[in-house]
Amino acid sequence: MDRIRIRGGNPLKGEIRISGAKNAALPLMCTCLLTDDEVRLDNVPDLADITTLTNLLAHLGVEVTTRQSLKGRSISFSAKGLAVTTAPYDLVRKMRASVLVLGPLVARHGQAKVSLPGGCAIGTRPVDLHIKGLQQMGAEIELDSGYILAKAPNGLKGCEITFPKVSVGATENLLMAATLAKGETHLINAAREPEISDLAACLNAMGAKIDGIGTDHLKIQGVERLHGCTHSVVADRIEAGTYAMAAAITGGEVELVGLHHELIGAAASTLSQAGVSLTETPRGLLVKRKNGALNGVDVMTEPFPGFPTDLQAQMMALMTTAEGASMITETIFENRFMHVPELTRMGASINVHGSSAMVRGVKKLTGAPVMATDLRASVSLVLAGLTAEGDTYLNRVYHLDRGYEKLTDKLSACGAEIERLSDAAAE
């Protein structure tokens, strides 16, 4: 298994082009199941999760064509020859977002059999809200032998769905399903993440009638059919936030290219309070420390526009060498502190009490062999390694491949001493 070696201490200097967002691209790819026409996505990141979903769509009978151009990677999807409506366990277990095929399959093909995705390292992550919403829209759903069996032979019906808690995935699944339902659907207390607005914009370009985009109340007037479109995937705000913190933790100066300021949401004001300046440039955002040291700030994860859980581990790494203390509270997932013991092994001072972690800034971190169990925990250890004294060896690099396109290239281009060691070299 590959490892990453980082020799810490170099301030990052330069520019980093932000890729298309993984969490936008995945639901966007599932829109192809709603039409016989071709859906072309531009700015698709080259990530393991995209490959996993591509394999699942191909298994269903979707024709997939990938093109690489100067503008980035484009993938076209044509579900005209859709032959199968079963998403098997082996393809779903690799990535929870595979459950996003459920809504489109039921809406357009009247049936679906989708493996329950199960939990993962960060929490149990049920899909009850996806299922209840589809039932409210008239689907008959049974759970059998680890599969969701859904039927709606006469189509789905519009209705009013009020989510008891904000769910990104359930909002996306039901939004896609509602585009082809009969009548009007209201999704209330819907998630407002920019990736959902991107999905809604793509669906409208396909002929859907969605109002309230960017709010927590989406109104969808169902239509008979959708057509194809070309859509460019929105920039990855989590990747951008990660590199902003990489610039800050190393005391460097990095321009994040291809990103609109408002995408960063609450993370921008939290970073500003911590002593990081984020200045809009014609191409994106310039990130550096305001003046010298970073200072501890309290952070609580929340649905958008609050501070994202997907930046919590990185923020914790940033706080390990800040002046003073920082209380970091995770409210979205019950087990998202897997990076704590590893950061502690690098010299961080962190105490966890339930869903909060108290970080007391230390003078320096030291490199160590570390491993992580999920994507953002892994990248938080990369950030720690960039500032640590000596070498850090990060194991289980495959987690990073899920969500960070060309991570070592992007960081090396800004002066980081970071390299990927292949199997043989890692022994």
Contacts of 289 (CB under 8 A, 6+ apart): 248, 251, 275, 276, 277
Write out the binding residues for ligand UD1, residues 71-100 only, by CB under 6 A.
96-97
- Residue closer to ligand UD1, measured from CB, 11 or 403: 403
- 96 counts as binding ligand PEP under rule CB under 6 A: yes
Please report where in the chains the tokens 């609450």 appear, as a residue.
Answer: 266
Of ligand PEP, ligand UD1, none, which one sits near residue 376, judging by CB under 5 to 8 A according to partner kind? Answer: ligand PEP
Maximum alpha-carbon separation in the chain = 65
- Residue closer to ligand UD1, measured from CB, 127 or 148: 127
Which residues is 299 bridged to in the sheet?
328
Q: What are phi and psi of 341, to 5 degrees?
A: -60, -30
- 167 counts as binding ligand UD1 under rule CB under 6 A: yes
* Interface pattern 109-138 for ligand PEP (x via CB under 6 A): -----------x------------------
318 is in an annotated binding site: no
- Residue closer to ligand PEP, measured from CB, 37 or 236: 236
Instruction: State the number of CA atoms in the 13 A half-sphere of 191 facing the CB.
Output: 26
What is the C-alpha to C-alpha distance for residues 203 and 200, in angstroms, rounded to an integer? 5
Percentages of the chain per state (helix, strand, coil), in multiples of 5: 35, 30, 35
32 flagged as catalytic? no
312-319 vs 237-250: helix crossing angle, rounded to 10: 10
- 97 counts as binding ligand PEP under rule CB under 6 A: yes
Of ligand UD1, ligand PEP, none, which one sits near residue 403, judging by CB under 5 to 8 A according to partner kind? Answer: ligand PEP
- 26 counts as binding ligand UD1 under rule CB under 6 A: yes
421 is in an annotated binding site: no
For 269: left if phi > 0, alpha if psi spans -120 to 50, otherwise beta; the answer is alpha
Q: What are phi and psi of 376, to 5 degrees?
A: -75, -30
128 is in an annotated binding site: yes
Q: Which of 120, 159, 202, 414 is catalytic?
A: 120
- Residue closer to ligand PEP, measured from CB, 139 or 299: 299
Of ligand PEP, ligand UD1, none, which one sits near residue 129, judging by CB under 5 to 8 A according to partner kind? Answer: ligand UD1
Of ligand PEP, ligand UD1, none, which one sits near residue 3, judging by CB under 5 to 8 A according to partner kind? Answer: none
User: DSSP letter string over 25-54?
Assistant: HHHHHHGGGG-SSEEEEES----HHHHHHH
Q: Which of 143, 137, 138, 139 is nearest to 116 (CA)?
A: 143
- 255 counts as binding ligand PEP under rule CB under 6 A: no
- Helix, coil or strand: residue 257: strand
- 177 counts as binding ligand UD1 under rule CB under 6 A: no
- Residue closer to ligand PEP, measured from CB, 104 or 367: 104
Write out the binding residues for ligand PEP, residues 372-411 only, by CB under 6 A.
375-376, 403
Of ligand UD1, ligand PEP, none, which one sits near residue 341, judging by CB under 5 to 8 A according to partner kind? Answer: none
168 is in an annotated binding site: yes
33 is in an annotated binding site: no
Contacts of 120 (CB under 8 A, 6+ apart): 96, 374
What is the C-alpha to C-alpha distance for residues 116 and 371, in angstroms, rounded to an integer? 28
Of ligand PEP, ligand UD1, none, which one sits near residue 123, judging by CB under 5 to 8 A according to partner kind? Answer: ligand UD1
- Residue 14, burial from CB neighbour count under 10 angstroms (0-12, 13-18, 19+): middle
What is the C-alpha to C-alpha distance for residues 314 and 299, in angstroms, rounded to an integer? 12
- 175 counts as binding ligand UD1 under rule CB under 6 A: no
- Residue closer to ligand UD1, measured from CB, 40 or 237: 237
Stretch that binds ligand UD1, among 31-39, 65-73, 118-126, 380-388 (CB under 6 A): 118-126
Q: What are phi and psi of 129, to 5 degrees?
A: -70, -35
Binding site for ligand PEP (CB under 6 A): 23, 95-97, 120, 310, 375-376, 403
From the annotation, which residues make up the binding site? 22-23, 96, 125-129, 165-168, 310, 332
What does the binding site for ligand UD1 look like in residue numbers (CB under 6 A)? Answer: 23, 26, 96-97, 123, 125-130, 165, 167-170, 191, 309-310, 332-333
Q: Specify binding-site residues for phosphoenolpyruvate.
A: 22-23
- The residues annotated with a catalytic role in the active site are 120
